[in-house]
Structure 1
Amino acid sequence: MKCISLFMVVLISVPICFTSNILYLQLLVSHSHHFWNRAIIHELAERGHNVTILSPRSEAKPPTGVHYILLEDQYVRRLPFYRSLLNATEFMNPFYETLSILLGYELLCSGAVKTKGFQTLLNYPDEFKFDVILHDFSVGSCFLPFVHKFNYPPMIAVTAFGHPSFSSHYIADHHHYSYVPHISLRSNDEMTFSQRLLNFLIYMEEFIIFKYFFNPRMDEIAAKFFGPNFPSVSELEKRTSLAFVNTNAAIDYHISHPENVIPVGGLQIKDPKPFPQELTSFINSSTKGTVIFSLGSNFRSDYIPQIKKNLILKVLSDLSDYNFLWKFESNISESDLPKNVMIRSWIPVSDVLAHPKVKAIFFHGGLLTTHEAIWRSVPMIIMPFGLDQPQNLMKTKRFGISEGADYHSLNYDDLKTTILKVLEDPSYAMNMQKVSARFKDQKEKPLDRAIWWIEWLLRNPNCGYLKSPLFGLGLIAGNSYDIIAFITLFVILNLIILLKLFCYCVRKCLRNIYSDETMPHEKLE
């Protein structure tokens, strides 16, 4: 009897884990976005779930329960795009940039569906059971037909790309054009009338492209590979149960979220780990501190034109009180390298940011590094190239925690002044401490929040009651444009009627006046 009681106590004390089959669909060709998604994947595997990932990137030694289906050779196709941004002489026109981004999404999809990896998942039997699908919607809806193929398991839309302007297709939220700038617009949430007008037109351009060109193109691709009897991707988008967006109210613009949108900004950030001793020694050898210089995982520093590389090296050399740790993907001759500059092909940026002698980070403005710098309380010098990077500069500059360097008009004096301003003006470090404290003050870690909601959806697959009613209303009715148009038309019609009545009365009065003056008076008898 004692043995049975002891067995029951042990059984009750052991947490019960219900293993689920999870499909993770990831199209975007981006190392950093893969790291963000991988944080979710590894945590799910750690909790006993089986995760199958269709992705352009895999791992050499994935953990138990993680199974990659590789979309082969996709990174090679994307490198020319990133290189072109480094060779550009100015930012794109915002309308052309919006169009080119969406054309890039279509090219990614067209390339991915031709891979062996895509065909592998396509050949899975239709009755294969996935309990939930996580779909990275950062580059659109290319893989959504798999939701239909596998008989509509509940779906979570996820993105490391902040809160994309087209997220309303999945979650029917309101993007307020008056104070939420499109990523193609170079302004913050305090816009002038002309900026708000431009912002509205960019959003409408994107809406039209998605509705009449991009999504119909996705339907064409789906019909070719999945057959003709599939619902449109526009309908599949609406089947999203939950959405994870990489935002945090402490640092992002204010956006009205429906109940099924979960902000998980910074979920990839973990406690810092030890890094190579040679990096530690270099950082500690600095007189006033060390600056990290990194262009992230997609932009290569060795693609920067030589004249700009020489300019940057000259500035770093002349700031001799500081050491600079530069992520540089190829070698620079020791004779050409200043003594206060160390180059390495890979730097564990998030871990190095936690070192107390790191005083700033000079980088491209990628969102994940921005979150990591804020979490570690390190001021920023941001040199954006495109995509969401200019907006990340705009957001952080509002709080006095960053300054920008214009890559296209880069010159010695401006770059040196900007770096010194962030390093030697104490307000940047003080402001960063405040913003960092707000960012970290959460009831649970963002990754734990994401995992909890995934497992909640496994327990509660029918959660349509959380969805926004905007899906049923559409863009026009959902934003009350029809009401505004009706009231405007009603007022205009009434004004026209009143004006016509006024004109009629005036003419009537004038006729009476003129007729009285011209009518002969009757003789008095």
Structure 2
Amino acid sequence: MGTISRLCLLPLVVSVSLLMTSSVQGGKVLVFPVDGSHWVNMNLLIQTLHDRGHEITVVRTATSWYIKENAPHYHSITITLPEAIVIEDQDFFVTFLMRMIAIQRKGASLIGFLNFYWEMLSTLSKIHQQASLLAVEMFENKTLMQSLRDTHFDVVLLDPGLPAGVVVAHELKLPTIFNVRWVTSGEGHFVVAPSPTSYVPTSGYAASDKMTFVQRVLNLVHYVLNTCIDRFIVCPHYDKLVERYFGSAVNFYHLLQGADIWLMRVDFVLEFPRPTMPNIAYIGGFQCKPSKPLSSELEEFVQSSGEHGFILMSLGTLVKGLPLEITSEIAAAFAQIPQKVIWRHVGERPNNLGNNTLLVKWMPQNDLLGHPKIKAFVAHGGNNGIYESIYHGVPMICIPLLFDQFENVLRLEVRGAAKRVEVTKITQQNFLEAIQEVLHNPSYRTSIKRLSALHRDKPMHPLDTAVYWTEFLMRNKGASHLRTESYKMHWYAYYSVDVICFLFAVLLMLTAVVVGSLRFLCLRLCRRRKPKQA
């Protein structure tokens, strides 16, 4: 083979060598997921890990309704709890939404609101009390625990929204990797990275990073409230668990903060700039992918829209929680536009439904968002839908319903890529106006196209990033060199209160010495200058 031929093959050889050295042969991953929409994200990641030759074992509860016991890409360990975790009831969030809407529309009294808030905190406490029993059931099953030890897992992958898996990982002495956006106290950054409330909006408070004085006050109040709820409502259940099995020397919150790698489902295309840490890898939009061809029925319906195109609408399963009068107002607005509408809808059929609207119980959302005839996306502002919309460059009309959806929608609004409509104030007229504004004002499409270009302009797809860091942890048996130990410091040391007090004390002493010395010198000088009496 000639020199030129060898030189031409050199890049290929180097690339293959890099791929071979960066992979892990037959790693074993123990997974603790959270049910519901969180499982959609986790399932995609473990499917990809399985395709790369890794052996996946998923810990699930017997009452799980998303996480199946049998699947081709993972083995499962099913734990039977004394009672089902509340959020594993498919109607829990629907019922919660219905009550929230009723309170907002009718205007509850202060006592009524406080009663509802107290009930919500009680439910939150119950959820984590039930979730903590997962670890108890596992620890008390000596045969199961010995089997887990004998399997010699390489890493524990978990969703820390319900963090019982953190305690099990500590017992097995395994490195941990979080597939995370939310932890017990809210957004994950607030646990692992510096989060100044002066410009970092806290969980549950929809604000931008450019806050007024009043907004900064409210942001701090929300942060303190979140911290108190976490410390006094959530963590006591896990503190008892840790105390029971590891003694007082182990701190649950330190276990949570001590994860080796955080796979953060965030992209700074959407997120406001903020401090971060070296063990945080950003994988926002990792579920996004190019669209596939539609079924013949859907393609025929979409093509029938002609030059007007079509609008997609999905509020997930929570649409069952919307009163009929609200969905009927939405349907009436859709009936007045020339575009076709594909609406994922479960529950009671809305009134005023136009001939241009197709109701479906399920749809290939990603494939529809990537279709060239798509004009707009009506959604509730969930994380997955927003990133798919950004990926495909589709402007949005958003109807936030619960939790972080309000914050997600605000971020899109600030970037000029979405129009928000409040669910309790929806009328046929204002919803129609929102649709027409997004359709006919080119700034929305221009803004989302720019976000799409930024989101795609990466050296590596976010899913590949997630896989890389998971395998990195397997290869290196942890990533302690990327993890700060600051979380183990006392609060007064972390904020340098002790240093400030020490320096202030030294300053006071020096001031006292100087003042005392000057006073002494002045007194001596005055005595020397005092005239002698005759």
**TM-score, with length taken from structure 1:** 0.80
Which of 18, 26, 30 is the matching residue for 2:25? 18
Equivalent AA in structure 2 for residue 135 of structure 1: L
**Match of residue 418 from structure 2:** 402
Alpha-carbon distance between aligned partners in 2 of 1:96 and 1:437, rounded to the nearest angstrom: 47
* Contact 1:366/1:392 (8 A) holds in 2: yes
**Match of residue 271 from structure 1:** 290
Shift of 1:258: 1.0
Structure 2 residue matching 1:244: 3-state secondary structure:
strand
Counting matched residue pairs gives 478
Alpha-carbon distance between aligned partners in 2 of 1:223 and 1:170, rounded to the nearest angstrom: 21
Structure 1 residue matching 2:274: 3-state secondary structure:
coil
Equivalent AA in structure 2 for residue 19 of structure 1: G
Shift of 1:277: 1.9
- The CA deviation string for residues 123-148 of structure 1, in whole angstroms up to 9 with x for no partner, is 51343322111121134x33322113
Structure 1 residue matching 2:145: 3-state secondary structure:
coil
Equivalent AA in structure 1 for residue 239 of structure 2: D
| 1:266 to 1:58, Cα distance in 2 relative to 1, 3 A | same
Shift of 1:430: 1.1
* Contact 2:180/2:264 (8 A) holds in 1: yes
* Contact 2:97/2:321 (8 A) holds in 1: no
Alpha-carbon distance between aligned partners in 1 of 2:455 and 2:59, rounded to the nearest angstrom: 32
* Contact 2:121/2:233 (8 A) holds in 1: no
Which of 362, 365, 372 is the matching residue for 1:349? 365
Alpha-carbon distance between aligned partners in 1 of 2:482 and 2:238, rounded to the nearest angstrom: 27
| 1:363 to 1:99, Cα distance in 2 relative to 1, 3 A | farther
Structure 2 residue matching 1:143: 3-state secondary structure:
helix
| 1:117 to 1:62, Cα distance in 2 relative to 1, 3 A | farther
| 1:423 to 1:122, Cα distance in 2 relative to 1, 3 A | farther
**Match of residue 157 from structure 1:** 178
Which of 311, 323, 328 is the matching residue for 2:340? 323
* Contact 1:69/1:120 (8 A) holds in 2: no
- The CA deviation string for residues 424-472 of structure 1, in whole angstroms up to 9 with x for no partner, is 1111111111110001100011111111111111111243221124224
| 1:254 to 1:169, Cα distance in 2 relative to 1, 3 A | closer
**Match of residue 301 from structure 2:** 282
* Structure 2 residue 63 is the aligned partner of structure 1 residue 43: no
Per mean C-alpha deviation after superposition, the further-off stretch among 429-438 and 322-331 is: 322-331
Alpha-carbon distance between aligned partners in 1 of 2:233 and 2:91, rounded to the nearest angstrom: 25
Structure 2 residue matching 1:69: 3-state secondary structure:
strand
Within 5 Å, give how 1:56-95 maps onto structure 2. 56=64, 57-59=66-68, 62-67=71-76, 69=78, 74=85, 76-77=88-89, 79-89=91-101
Shift of 1:61: 5.8
Which has more helix, going by share of residues?
2
* Contact 1:156/1:241 (8 A) holds in 2: yes
**Match of residue 393 from structure 1:** 409
* Contact 2:242/2:250 (8 A) holds in 1: no
- The CA deviation string for residues 458-493 of structure 1, in whole angstroms up to 9 with x for no partner, is 1112432211242243444434456677789999x8
Alpha-carbon distance between aligned partners in 2 of 1:349 and 1:214, rounded to the nearest angstrom: 35
Structure 2 residue matching 1:251: 3-state secondary structure:
coil
Alignment RMSD, CA only? 3.7
**Match of residue 366 from structure 1:** 382
* Contact 1:113/1:119 (8 A) holds in 2: no
| 1:54 to 1:385, Cα distance in 2 relative to 1, 3 A | same
Per mean C-alpha deviation after superposition, the further-off stretch among 86-95 and 48-57 is: 86-95
* Contact 1:54/1:117 (8 A) holds in 2: no
Q: What are the ranges of 5 or more consecutive residues in structure 1 without an aligned counterpart?
A: 1-8, 502-525
* Structure 2 residue 332 is the aligned partner of structure 1 residue 309: no
Percent of matched pairs sharing the same residue:
23
* Contact 1:133/1:147 (8 A) holds in 2: yes
- The CA deviation string for residues 272-305 of structure 1, in whole angstroms up to 9 with x for no partner, is 2233222222122124121111012x41x23311
Which of 307, 311, 315 is the matching residue for 1:291? 311
* Contact 1:327/1:343 (8 A) holds in 2: yes
| 1:266 to 1:68, Cα distance in 2 relative to 1, 3 A | farther
- The CA deviation string for residues 156-205 of structure 1, in whole angstroms up to 9 with x for no partner, is 1221449974535753x111211111231132211111111111122122
**TM-score, with length taken from structure 2:** 0.79
Which of 200, 224, 239 is the matching residue for 2:220? 200
- The CA deviation string for residues 331-350 of structure 1, in whole angstroms up to 9 with x for no partner, is 638x9531011001111111
Q: What are the ranges of 5 or more consecutive residues in structure 2 without an aligned counterpart?
A: 1-12, 517-534
Shift of 1:234: 1.9
Alpha-carbon distance between aligned partners in 1 of 2:140 and 2:298, rounded to the nearest angstrom: 43
* Contact 2:368/2:374 (8 A) holds in 1: yes
| 1:366 to 1:444, Cα distance in 2 relative to 1, 3 A | same
Shift of 1:251: 1.7
Shift of 1:52: 1.0
**Match of residue 531 from structure 2:** none
* Structure 2 residue 284 is the aligned partner of structure 1 residue 261: no
Structure 2 residue matching 1:324: 3-state secondary structure:
strand
* Contact 1:163/1:247 (8 A) holds in 2: no
| 1:227 to 1:457, Cα distance in 2 relative to 1, 3 A | closer
* Contact 2:160/2:182 (8 A) holds in 1: no
| 1:18 to 1:284, Cα distance in 2 relative to 1, 3 A | same
Equivalent AA in structure 1 for residue 224 of structure 2: M
* Contact 1:316/1:341 (8 A) holds in 2: yes
**Match of residue 418 from structure 1:** 434
| 1:344 to 1:488, Cα distance in 2 relative to 1, 3 A | farther
